[in-house]
Amino acid sequence: MKNMEIYKFNGNSTASVEGMQHVAKLIMNNQPTIAILSAAEDVTKHLDEIAACFFNRNTEEAHEKITRLEFYFIDFANELLTDDEIKHQAIRCILDSFQAIWKYCLEPFTSTDEKDILAQGELLTSTLMSLYLQEQKVDNAMLCAFDFIRVGTNREVDIEYIEQKLDKQLKLYPGTHLFITQGSICKNAFGETDYLKQGGSDYTAALIGVALHAKEIKLWTNFAIRNNDTLVIKDAGTIRNLSFSEAERLIYFNPQILHPFCLATAWKGNVPIHLLNPMNPTAEGTYISDNLQNGEAVKAVAAKDSVVYIRLESNHTLRPYLFISKIMEIFAKYRTNPCLLTSSNDNISIVTDNKEFLSRILRELNRYARIWVEDRMSIVSVVGNMKSSCIAMESRIIDALKNIPLRMISYGSDENDVSIVVRGTDKAEVLRLLDEKLLKPEYFGKAC
């Protein structure tokens, strides 16, 4: 369904009656749409506490928490809905849901039972939205994610399975253009309630979008993709357009923006992602696609703190062609990924953000090299169109930082960034200088 749009909202968007009504207005657009909803953070927390009470056999406390949350949902439904018949239908769904939760106090409690309880938040939230839309005379259908999203025994998701099952579900409602479903939840290979391993509702949106070959995936979120660190540059602007590869690099520095699984899935399926703010729906937001015009040079500057810089000088125990492979073998042995790497003859410089096994790694490296280590370093990346045809871009970056001591420069491994390593104490000044020389209006978006 190439005209289908996927809308995903986080739990905070529907945490209040006003929020749910606002979300309803956003999805009532007369376009084929699937809206993915999550439970409010407080609801999920409360359900988690209920599950903990059952696990600890604390029935009295569980009763108190269940009653409190049950009344919360009933009050929510009474305030949200005005039609008596629809309101009674909502309350019946709420009572049935909490009756299902109560049964767990009568039998041994398992991790699967815990997931069943947590899933009630998503199921009730989507049910209330569907009923509210029904009250507003908006034709819609609620799809249960359990019916079309499944993870295998290896915890991987089968896109073809989703495509087949979802297509069957949609065909049950031939005249309907608006569908409501849940984020994060799924079934596992044994038919039990489960959750997507990472990425949450963002990942759900990407899976559905790719399975349906959707027009685009709209992620309504309060996190904007800025062109610099707002803690340093207060007026950092929102980036309007990014390629998937540029977005991948920026997400490495700030995974809160968008989960890597979501981006990778949409990228593989070539379905654009549009990040939008539900509180400011008319704003452009950030559009991520591979169908972008070339020419815009610098899109953003991003930084990662608390990395370790390691410089290795071979002691010639190994021949040069074996030296670098041995270094990589040691890092792989301890499942430690280098963020950046440069080499020259028998010298190698490596930067990593994983310090868990650093002492063991250094102990083994010491057999083959003299080692210099600097902690509390920062990676600063200039992200954008860095193709080889973009003449003088790297020189502009170096010129802007001519008075800053640089430990490493990484350029050429891809066409989307130039990365440098500096002392953590210099990071803020580096960000300010690059903002002034590369991101100000007279420079920003300037063609190569």
Task: Please state, in angstroms and as integers, the Cα–Cα distance from residue 319 to each residue in 101, 331, 332, following that order.
Answer: 65, 19, 20
**Position 348 confidence tier, pLDDT thresholds 50, 70, 90:** very high
Last residue of a domain, one of 173, 199, 220: 220
Residue 232 falls inside a structural domain: no
* Domain harbouring 370, CATH code: 3.30.2130.10
Let me know whether 82 and 205 are in one domain. Answer: yes
Q: Per-residue pLDDT tens for 54-96?
A: 999 898 899 999 999 999 999 999 999 999 999 999 999 999 9
Let me know whether 165 and 305 are in one domain. Answer: no
Q: Which DSSP string do the residues of 161-181 spell out, in sequence order?
A: HHHHHHHHHHHT-TT--EEEE
Contact status, residue 219 vs residue 274, Cβ threshold 8 Å: yes
**Position 188 confidence tier, pLDDT thresholds 50, 70, 90:** very high
pLDDT of 447 reads 43
pLDDT of 390 reads 62
**Position 323 confidence tier, pLDDT thresholds 50, 70, 90:** very high
**Position 448 confidence tier, pLDDT thresholds 50, 70, 90:** very low
pLDDT of 276 reads 94
Among candidates 273, 355, 263, 368, which has minimal Cα distance to 309? 355
Q: Per-residue pLDDT tens for 357-397?
A: 999 999 999 999 999 999 999 999 999 877 755 667 788 88
Let me know whether 194 and 316 are in one domain. Answer: no
pLDDT of 388 reads 58
Residue 179 falls inside a structural domain: yes
* Domain harbouring 134, CATH code: 3.40.1160.10
For the chain, what is the domain count? Answer: 2
Last residue of a domain, one of 220, 254, 277: 220
Spatial distance between the Cα atoms of 249 and 302, rounded to a whole number of angstroms: 9
Let me know whether 115 and 21 are in one domain. Answer: yes
Percent of the chain with pLDDT over 70: 96
Residue 265 falls inside a structural domain: no
Let me know whether 216 and 305 are in one domain. Answer: no
* Domain range for 125: 5-220
pLDDT of 40 reads 94
Last residue of a domain, one of 198, 220, 242: 220
Let me know whether 193 and 104 are in one domain. Answer: yes
Task: State pTM to two decimals.
Answer: 0.89
Let me know whether 434 and 327 are in one domain. Answer: yes
Residue 274 falls inside a structural domain: no
Q: Per-residue pLDDT tens for 396-440?
A: 888 999 999 999 998 877 788 899 999 999 999 999 999 998 887
Mean pLDDT of the chain: 91
- Sequence-ordered alpha helix ranges (H) in 349-421: 358-365, 393-400
pLDDT of 444 reads 47
